A and B are shown apart, each in its own frame.
Chain A
């Protein structure tokens, strides 16, 4: 494994929060309706080193997708700071943000809706280069498009085809090529393999790793699939209801998970080994509705190790071991 040499942090997030439904229509206010605020992301902090992959894992409604989109300014964070290469990107002007898009890019989950059905591969890749004035001549642009396609494993002769002619796996490759067309240093990958068959998923994961090694890319890899996240990540953050509840090295997380939710999550994953012992008790209950007001630790209603304090106070992130953070009173 290529060692993550320099410890410079390419991305640092502090106290990031995002809620929806903060603004209220005049009419609703007059009718006395209460505001229903959805706290998708609450007080999230983490950093990623250059060349590293941070896996972000959690079930539906935990806010991982929203977090990814906040980093890309597709949603505006309600609170917190984001530092990219030591610069506060939330304070950027329009021009600076424009420039930032050549350094931070994103790939999406659904290969069938992440490509414009009426644009050929060539046009899609060329457009990004045109908008950001990356190439100087038509010839250079053409060469670069072909180069990108080869890099992601697509035959360059297909460059004028429309998306419908490609399979799911190939479309994801096009998505990756599009993200790479602006030469980014950092990529947010939002469930890029969740909609693909198992055998194709393996191809795409290997491609992403290869590209990371070749181009020294940094990834934030978002997924609900623990095995995939373990395979591709150096460190992993587990999210539950908008907060990071545990953050550790991939190996450490899998061998000694500390947070009760992380433990339950790991135990719930069915292993493709019929002789392995699976836990006897499934975790009880359902996720609380994200719009509900919860006092205390968000997990306490389903936690079998809950203490008295858990119902009243919200735990901070504690560091029981170096590089291993847990948001749980058990480790205070």
Chain B
């Protein structure tokens, strides 16, 4: 693994830095309200890298954006839950108060480095901008600090590249710049929404290692969102698997991969052609992801589940702890104890 995982029993003693409870975000669509995030609870510990994995439509991106309230307000609305950060409930804050947190305490980097930078401003200006926005420092000091950050994230020759524009940079370089911007104010939490999906595999490797090293060096807690199980497996201490807006399994990475406690997690792992030759077929999950405006009754995965029982059709959603820190939403004891 890129990050060495702290032993599971130590986790309980580490401090909780972000406590999300019962978060629900709803989007209005012409087919009715869509619960993109449904009763999501995540506990983020200090200094850990937490992975949020799921396919498209699972709600992982929406969850991230809900944390710093980047949900576009006419169609979307956070309807319930609490997000406790250092004693403050982020959801109870006004937009102005949240803005003070964004960038300074909690930062976010997005998927597409091509469009995340303003094309008409130089790179250096954009990095320095976030510094000057939150701290009242002089332009010269901001520039010094920006150069230091660029060097930190591995941009070669930052003095020269300071006045370059985004189009002079490759995708990997841009993502590094975005990381520099995100870390400019030394946030405690970094939200990374599919930061490497748009990048080539060798560049992805560089960026993931960069994030891991920065995380360790500055003791930042990271929530990494991805659909790529490989990325999650190699970089995260703990993971949560999402399906149709709900978390279906949470736990330390190694136990979850060794013995997934939810049929969806297991099916997902079996559908990846990793190291498999065509002699063993990868098993696809039958059916299609549910229509979120009208999700299935009971367990949302039950129509596609190979272990479905009658009780699954009208169960209520709840996460149960099975082993130390390993939770699942599945009620099929036979599957769990297999």
Contacts and interface: CB of A to CB of B under 8 A. Distances in A.
- Would A and B touch once assembled, by the CB under 8 A criterion? yes
A271 B284 contact: no
Contacts of B288: 167, 169, 200
Interface string A63-83: 000000000000000000000
Interface string A224-248: 1011101110000000000000000
B277 A230 contact: yes
B277 A282 contact: no
Nearest to B227: A198
B158 to A, nearest CB: 15
B208 A198 contact: no
Interface in B202-254: 202-206, 208-209, 227-235, 253-254
A272 B233 contact: yes
B201 A202 contact: no
A10 interface: no
Contact of B271 (A167, A198, A273): A198
A256 interface: no
Instruction: Identify which of A228, A230, A267, A278 gathers the most chain B CB atoms within 10 Å of its CB.
Output: A278
Interface residues of A, number: 42
A205 B273 contact: yes
Contacts of A201: 271
A313 B200 CA distance: 27
A270 interface: yes
Contact of B233 (A254, A274, A287): A274
Contacts of A278: 1-2, 234
Contacts of B94: none
B32 interface: no
Contact of B278 (A1, A167, A227, A275): A1
Interface in A201-234: 201-203, 205-206, 209, 224, 226-228, 230-232
B278 A270 contact: no
A199 B235 CA distance: 22
Interface string A241-268: 0000000001100100000000011011
Given A202-B282, A205-B282, A271 B230 contact: yes
A271 B227 contact: no
A60 interface: yes
A269 interface: yes
B55 A199 contact: yes
B233 to A, nearest CB: 4
A286 interface: yes
Interface in B240-277: 253-254, 257-258, 267-269, 271-277
Contacts of B253: 274
Given A197-B227, A270-B204, 15 more contacts: A1-B279, A167-B288, A169-B288, A198-B229, A202-B271, A202-B273, A227-B274, A227-B275, A271-B233, A271-B234, A272-B230, A273-B233, A274-B254, A275-B257, A282-B209
Interface of B: 1-2, 5, 55-56, 170, 172-173, 200-206, 208-209, 227-235, 253-254, 257-258, 267-269, 271-279, 281-285, 288-289
